[in-house]
């Protein structure tokens, strides 16, 4: 069975920053021929519930910045992502939650250091690791529209 890495909140896991989920039944039906490997970097690294974060372009790189204290949260997320794909080297498809600073493939909000919105086509930090590994990657809404 082919394997898909899927944002855990889309499977019904209550791992969002506010302790809620984003269960997407049509998407799960669409993926019924896959073995689903769920992931949630933010729950693993920071627990649930947790403060929100945003993607910030500092002119050199794009970092995940805490909205609570302005600290940089990128490192543990990227570490989690690399470990995840090492453990699941046979993943063929990555589907991330739209607009998430960790999971969005091309729908993330990106701000500048002054917190002005630059664009809404950013890539979350875990999705970037998937893309860098050459894994076919989609935002969940686009994948559903594309395949149904
Ligand atoms: S979008 Fe990603 S990081 Fe956020 S709750 Fe869902 S799986 Fe976790």
Query: pLDDT, tens digit, for every residue of 9-63?
Result: 999 999 999 999 999 999 999 999 999 999 999 999 999 999 999 999 999 999 9
Pocket of ligand 1 (CB under 6 A): 7-9, 15-16, 40-43, 97, 100, 102-103
Tens of pLDDT, residue by residue over 126-137, are: 999 999 999 999
Is 148's pLDDT higher than 80?
Answer: no
Pairing outcome for strands 117-122 and 108-111: antiparallel
Mean pLDDT of the chain: 97
Q: Which residue ranges make up each domain of the chain?
A: 3-147
Q: Which of 4, 9, 108 to mutate to test the pocket of ligand 1 (most atoms within 8 A of CB)?
A: 9
């Amino acid at each position: 069975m082919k394997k898909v890495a899927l944002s855990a909140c889309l499977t019904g896991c209550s791992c969002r920053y506010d302790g809620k989920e984003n269960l997407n039944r049509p998407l799960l039906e669409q993926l019924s021929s896959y073995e689903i490997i769920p992931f949630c970097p933010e729950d693993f690294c920071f627990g649930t519930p947790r403060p929100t974060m945003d993607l910030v372009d500092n002119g050199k790189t794009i970092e995940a910045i805490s909205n609570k204290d302005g600290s940089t949260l990128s490192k543990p997320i990227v570490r989690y992502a690399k470990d995840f794909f090492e453990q699941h080297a046979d993943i063929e498809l990555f589907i991330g939650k739209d607009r998430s600073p960790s999971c969005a493939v091309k729908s993330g909000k990106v701000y500048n250091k002054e917190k002005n919105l630059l664009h809404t086509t950013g890539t979350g930090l875990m999705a970037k690791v998937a893309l860098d590994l050459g894994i076919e990657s989609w935002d969940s809404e686009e994948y559903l529209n594309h395949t149904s």
